[in-house]
Structure 1
Amino acid sequence: MYLSVIAPVYNEHDNIPLLYDAVKEALKNISDWEFILVDDGSVDESLLALEKIAMADPQRVKIVSLRRNFGQTAAIAAGVDHASGDIIVLMDADLQNDPVDIPRMLEKIEEGYDLVSGWRKDRKDSLVRTIPSRIANKIICKVTGVSLHDYGCTLKAYRREVLTGYRLYGEMHRFIPAFANSVGAKIMEMPVTHHPRKFGKANYGMERTAKVILDLFTVKFLSSYANKPIYLFGGTGLVLSGISGCVLLFLAIRRLFWGVSVMESPLFQMSAMIFILGFQSILMGLIAELLTRAYYESQDKKTYYVRKMINFDSKDKTD
């Protein structure tokens, strides 16, 4: 089992040497591991600090320097792309995650789990950050169907295969458990240590809440309707068409029994608009179906994921 520990870095100059020492100490009983640090366009001396530890430990430390600040999700994707391990651990570089939890996560992976998600049960952040986070976690659990207490905790351990087959954009790194669940990953959550920030400042503000909500729409669509978009668009179209039909039926009954003109009622125009929207939604579903087939078939992508192959008959059969 080869382990890759990945940490995105943005303006964490003072934390980097301490982070390296903590990771090295936590993994002293593990022989095969690498530490990948992704500099996400830092404007302080973080890259210089990274180069120093890479020179001191070239066998284990790998530095990926991005041309500019692309965001945490892109930095994580870059780290995964350059990782060699079949087990991947993601963590923050701000020393709030504690590397001492990594061996415990690896034990859970060895028990058969595909993803072990950290839970900052005793979180050392202000209420301004923790309260919106708790609300967001409840919403994400409800929408994705994956029940976790702490989607925002970066410290997670993965089998590599549950990180493949999809690309991450925007702020979607926090939704990796939802994507992993969509490919049948076995997920468990465990409490992890959380420390207050010692150096630097948090790189996230309240503006990320809107980004998370918008990304959640994308995640729900990709996880539930990516290979059957007609169910979403066509279903919406049928509902709208049904509403339109009910309104027309009501107008016809009113015209028959009370003599009220159908054309004079604003409900007729509303019904016509609703029907048009429903018809357009069904057409959008058909177009999405064509795009889905082009996406899968042009890249020879599968619509299923194999956990393992079992074949007890390994003997060559000859006539």
Structure 2
Amino acid sequence: MSLNISVVLPAKNESGAIGQTIAQIQQLQLAHEIIVVNDGSTDNTKQVAEAAGAKVVTHPYSKGNGAAIKTGARSATGDVIIFMDADGQHDPQDIPRLLEKIEQGYDLVVGARQKGSQASIGRGVANALYNNLATYMTEQKVEDLTSGFRAVRADKFREFLYLLPNGFSYPTTSTMAFFRAGYSVTYIPIHAAKRIGKSHIQPIKDGVRFFLIIFKIATLFSPLKMFLPIAVVLFLMATGWYGYTLYEFHRFTNMSALLYTGSVMIFLMGLISEQITALMYKEK
């Protein structure tokens, strides 16, 4: 490509896989720099990465996957940034396929994990729900909302760094931000292998994060598309209950008033959130 390519690998205690991953990327002879963001590792991840020929940026303590991504994006000098895991899940041989889509004019290309690539059944179900919700919100087919293997145009990605969380949901946030901004997003099918080393996923913490991501998907794109159906359902319930009580008891009850009030409040919350979301993407 005529564009310079930077590969960013967030890494925390990945000494078992990082050397092999870097070597495989170097064999492609596509990247002009490989940046390993050492997120407070307590093993020799830094030493292994440096010995393999990567540029290493080290956090003094663990700040999270999203924070490592932001550090890598700020450090990268390439026109296009490839983000991928350092634990052996992502195959560097897929990088040329990502770049091919960038050459075709896309701004964000995501490696969509195919059937059998999910770490567990629970995560597979959660990701399916995320994808369906994001498809509803954006009215575009979203094949893999949470995949961390992606190629982006660096200047456009940096526009949204202030939105990215320090935790694991940076793929969700960045994808929805690109859709909202009207940038071109596409997917290529990939197979994710089993990671090398111990996973950093925590079931209980990730369960809470599941619900947070659901709301984040809505608020990052179009909050009213989520709030409006809820408001309509409450309004219909209020009307139905009012019709029943009027017919049976000839009066308007507190439950109907509560449901009507809730319907109006949720609609107004969605309306206000919609305006706030629009301001988030206003050009500075």
TM-score by length of 2: 0.79
In the TM superposition, what are the counterparts of 1:29-68 in structure 2 within 5 Å?
Answer: 30=30, 33-53=32-52, 57=53, 61-68=54-61
Q: Is residue 2:16 matched to residue 1:18?
A: no
CA deviation profile, 1:226-249 (whole Å, cap 9, x unmatched): xxx5x7657755664565455445
The answer to which of 103-112 and 205-214 deviates more is: 205-214
**How far did residue 286 of structure 1 move?**
6.3
Q: Is the 8 A contact 1:171 1:212 kept in 2?
A: no
Structure 1 residues 165 and 240: alpha-carbon distance in aligned structure 2, compared to 1, 3 A threshold: farther
Q: Which residue of 2 aligns with 1:272?
A: 257
CA deviation profile, 1:197-236 (whole Å, cap 9, x unmatched): 44x22222433244134212211222123xxx5x765775
Structure 1 residues 177 and 279: alpha-carbon distance in aligned structure 2, compared to 1, 3 A threshold: closer
Counterpart CA distance in 2 for 1:138 and 1:45 is 36
Q: Which residue of 2 aligns with 1:201?
A: 198
Counterpart CA distance in 2 for 1:87 and 1:22 is 19
Structure 1 residues 252 and 285: alpha-carbon distance in aligned structure 2, compared to 1, 3 A threshold: same
Q: Which residue of 1 aligns with 2:171?
A: 174
Q: Is the 8 A contact 1:233 1:281 kept in 2?
A: yes
- May I ask how many residue pairs the two structures share in their alignment? 273
Structure 1 residues 238 and 147: alpha-carbon distance in aligned structure 2, compared to 1, 3 A threshold: closer
Q: Is residue 2:84 matched to residue 1:91?
A: yes
Q: Which residue of 1 aligns with 2:131?
A: 141
CA deviation profile, 1:35-57 (whole Å, cap 9, x unmatched): 1111112121223334445xxx5
The answer to which of 238-247 and 73-82 deviates more is: 238-247
Aligned partner letter, 1:101: D
Structure 1 residues 212 and 83: alpha-carbon distance in aligned structure 2, compared to 1, 3 A threshold: farther
SS in 2 for 1:5: strand
Structure 1 residues 253 and 123: alpha-carbon distance in aligned structure 2, compared to 1, 3 A threshold: closer
- Of Structure 1 and Structure 2, the greater helix share is in 2
Counterpart CA distance in 1 for 2:55 and 2:270 is 45
SS in 2 for 1:271: helix
**How far did residue 9 of structure 1 move?**
0.2
Structure 1 residues 143 and 20: alpha-carbon distance in aligned structure 2, compared to 1, 3 A threshold: same
Counterpart CA distance in 2 for 1:121 and 1:241 is 40
Q: Is the 8 A contact 1:137 1:149 kept in 2?
A: no
Larger radius of gyration: 1
Structure 1 residues 187 and 235: alpha-carbon distance in aligned structure 2, compared to 1, 3 A threshold: closer
The answer to which of 93-102 and 116-125 deviates more is: 116-125
Structure 1 residues 280 and 10: alpha-carbon distance in aligned structure 2, compared to 1, 3 A threshold: same
- The two structures, once aligned, show a CA RMSD in angstroms of 3.2
Q: Is the 8 A contact 1:40 1:70 kept in 2?
A: yes
Structure 1 stretches lacking a partner, 5+ long: 255-259, 304-319
In the TM superposition, what are the counterparts of 1:227-242 in structure 2 within 5 Å?
Answer: 240=234
Aligned partner letter, 2:81: I
CA deviation profile, 1:92-148 (whole Å, cap 9, x unmatched): 1012212122122212211222222223437567xxx34223322321221001534
Give 4+ residue runs of structure 1 displaced > 6 Å after superposition.
none
Q: Which residue of 1 aligns with 2:222?
A: 224
SS in 2 for 1:7: strand
Q: Is residue 2:106 matched to residue 1:113?
A: yes
Q: Is the 8 A contact 1:162 1:183 kept in 2?
A: no
Structure 1 residues 269 and 162: alpha-carbon distance in aligned structure 2, compared to 1, 3 A threshold: same
> Identity of counterpart residues, as a percentage?
29
CA deviation profile, 1:27-77 (whole Å, cap 9, x unmatched): x2x3x6221111112121223334445xxx5xxx43222232222222212
Q: Which residue of 1 aligns with 2:181?
A: 183
Structure 1 residues 161 and 143: alpha-carbon distance in aligned structure 2, compared to 1, 3 A threshold: farther
